[in-house]
Amino acid sequence: MTTEVWDCVTKAPFGEQKSVFTIVRDGDSFTGSNVADIGVLPVIDGRIEGDRLVWKMPTTKPMPMTLIGKAVIDGDRLEGTVTIGPMGKAAMTGVRRS
């Protein structure tokens, strides 16, 4: 297992959200968390498909829902989207901590 830590920004409809996204890789799956002002969002059902990540994060803020994340890793950069239930998709970018 390997752990990666990313400094991320998600451009949500309710404002820009900075977070620390921790990925714990285990083969073609991963767990971890995304820690932001809205709280600690645990990563569930994390899958690794080459350079692509797909995961879910349950939350209760701004309302109970499961967020769906999709991102591509290119070196020390991460770029993707987070689907925020009825609020649509938000762009997510990140930089790997060294």
CATH number of the domain that residue 91 is part of: 2.40.128.120
At 9-51, the pLDDT tens digits run 999 887 899 999 999 999 999 999 999 988 899 999 999 999 9
User: How many domains does the chain fold into?
Assistant: 1
Cα–Cα distance for residue pair 4/15, rounded to 1 Å: 25
At 59-88, the pLDDT tens digits run 988 789 999 999 999 999 999 999 998 889
Question: Is pTM, for the whole model, over 0.75?
Answer: yes
Cα–Cα distance for residue pair 26/20, rounded to 1 Å: 19
Q: Is 27 left (phi over 0), alpha (psi -120 to 50) or beta?
A: left
Cα–Cα distance for residue pair 28/64, rounded to 1 Å: 28
Token duo for residue 94: 């990140």
By residue range, what is the domain housing residue 10?
2-96
